[in-house]
Structure 1
């Protein structure tokens, strides 16, 4: 199946940015990992697939539980970074919705925010169901919408500078999208054949220095980074100025940003034979 325009944009967005992601947004994205592994039933001896492993945080945590972990990512730099983070695990270059594994190969599959980055979420979930053994569990996270105030900070700074989404960054096709709510995310998993689906909302405050938080977009990390770095230097400076001004409402006495974030975590089982 050919990649969508959204998939191709995602590959360009993340190319060469593994280290910049590790130094900016990776800590934020690692927050749900323990809950994600619990939801997937990751335990000692389980065959676990971590899809969209990024820097390897979920894979490392699953290994620490004694699981036998395989990890994949669509970006070569992330694969290399994850291999350094979790020495000795099987890390492969692969992209949803096509994985290089046999049917029913895994007891558990986890995908930490990976569905945010695929052009065909339903096809991706069907593929995850395919590689799950009967009764195996899948657990995934996505960002909730509308975004929490901390998550929206960088976008607010961009809009304050009068910047919109550039034409070279396509959005997910409307027919592929789904409501980023508990009901919408649970419905997506159930639609693709998983059973016993449950979805919960995670709310937490992420602490980061202003320098760390700005370093991600300044290096072109994620869609927000692509929006920022596609602007001329004068506009980038204006966006940064708005970021600093708007960030004051989230700044504590130590000068750290305290950023409220909200995500959804959903899990379900592959039907038993």
Structure 2
């Protein structure tokens, strides 16, 4: 069985050159989980050898560095690596993609992956690779989006659906043989299947606060699957999607005019 799939190839194409657009939009959303992710991985003081996989703009790496960790980070997208190197110049940041990392066995005390398993074609192989580079007794912490999304997560998809937008075939989901239930039990079971010990998972919920313009800017810039789906539509459908978005967004508007968008994610931990 090959270690990568068409899903992985599509991910590489989808994220090419989109680091700045991601950092200014959805990257701010994904930053919410960083403190709890690092706590779950046991990154509390100086000297922890940490690997941050899928570092994106370096948000997790920067927070870990501030805690005194010895940070190594990787990302599969060159523009993300460049952005992360500027954010954390003292960290070792390299270009690499799961499920093959350029590190020896048992190299790190802790390994984290913030919303990364959503973007790999073979999640079980990816977790086995994260286990490989983790020392015996070391801690792994990962986040993914919950299969039961918060209402704020469905705002843009609902707008596209109301406009009649159709997801391009090449942006299809994982092969069912590689997928897993996006539930606390499902994610914990996947970690166990990868050979990790004491797997546990809990739900994180928060309101992401942003403006209507900033939140729309992510998909309008082609960020993530939802963005590529929007850009694949005709101009008429895109305009209709924006009209529905403006209508649906009123549900989340706060007294000061910003949006409070409820989101739900899963945080799983385990040890080697």
Same fold by TM (over 0.5)?
Answer: yes
Residues 213-271 of structure 1, C-alpha deviations (whole Å, 9 max, x = no match): 0000000000000000111111111111111100010011111111000000000000x
1:18-37 to 2 correspondence within 5 Å?
A: 18-37=19-38
Post-superposition offset of 1:2: 5.2
Which runs of 5 or more residues in structure 1 are unaligned?
Answer: none
Post-superposition offset of 1:33: 0.5
Give distance in 1, aligned partners of 2:237 and 2:167. 14
Give distance in 1, aligned partners of 2:231 and 2:4. 24
| Residue of structure 1 equivalent to 2:222 | 220
| Residue of structure 1 equivalent to 2:134 | 132
| Residue of structure 2 equivalent to 1:100 | 102
Stretches (4+) displaced over 6 A: none
Give distance in 1, aligned partners of 2:206 and 2:112. 20
Q: Is the 8 A contact 2:3 2:122 kept in 1?
A: no
Normalised TM-score (structure 2): 0.98
1:5-44 to 2 correspondence within 5 Å?
A: 5-42=6-43, 43-44=45-46
Residues 7-30 of structure 1, C-alpha deviations (whole Å, 9 max, x = no match): 011111110110001111111101
| Residue of structure 1 equivalent to 2:207 | 205
Which runs of 5 or more residues in structure 2 are unaligned?
Answer: none
Give distance in 1, aligned partners of 2:216 and 2:49. 38
Alignment RMSD, CA only? Answer: 0.8
Residues 77-135 of structure 1, C-alpha deviations (whole Å, 9 max, x = no match): 00000001111211100000000000000000000000000000000000000000000
| Residue of structure 2 equivalent to 1:73 | 75
Give distance in 2, aligned partners of 1:17 and 1:239. 22
**Local SS of the residue matching 1:240:** helix
Matched positions, count: 270
Normalised TM-score (structure 1): 0.97
Give distance in 1, aligned partners of 2:60 and 2:3. 28
**Local SS of the residue matching 2:52:** strand
1:1-273 to 2 correspondence within 5 Å?
A: 1=2, 3-42=4-43, 43-270=45-272
Q: Is the 8 A contact 1:79 1:92 kept in 2?
A: yes
Give distance in 2, aligned partners of 1:118 and 1:73. 12
Q: Is the 8 A contact 1:52 1:74 kept in 2?
A: yes
